[in-house]
Amino acid sequence: MLLGAAVGYLMLLINRKLLAPKPSPEKLRTYACGEVLKPEEVHPDSELFYSSMRRAFKPFYKYVQPKHSGVLSTYLLWVVVGFIIILLAVFAVMR
């Protein structure tokens, strides 16, 4: 299995070197229902992204909502920070 994975990875590397991607300007455009959108117009709806969190932590959310910026990258930063804290706690318990 490892040999097959190594051969597949080698084929992938060779393919990328031989056939470098050359996207045309048409392929780099964002389309929505046939309309061309600018990159600044394409922004994920943070309200829908956070709705499951709001349902899960409804009592706690009233304290979090005023500090909620709606920026996805900020949310993901706090998810990573929380994950690191959980990992540190798990390693501390395992000692």
34-54 residue pLDDT tens: 777 777 777 766 677 777 777
pLDDT per position as a tens digit, 4-41? 999 999 998 888 888 877 777 777 777 777 777 777 77
| Residue 37 contacts residue 30 (beta carbons within 8 Å) | yes
Give the pLDDT confidence of 73-83 residue by residue, as tens digits. Answer: 888 898 999 99
Q: What is the DSSP string of 4-61?
A: HHHHHHHHHHHHHHHS-----TTTTSEEETTEEE-GGG----HHHHHHHHHHHTHHHH
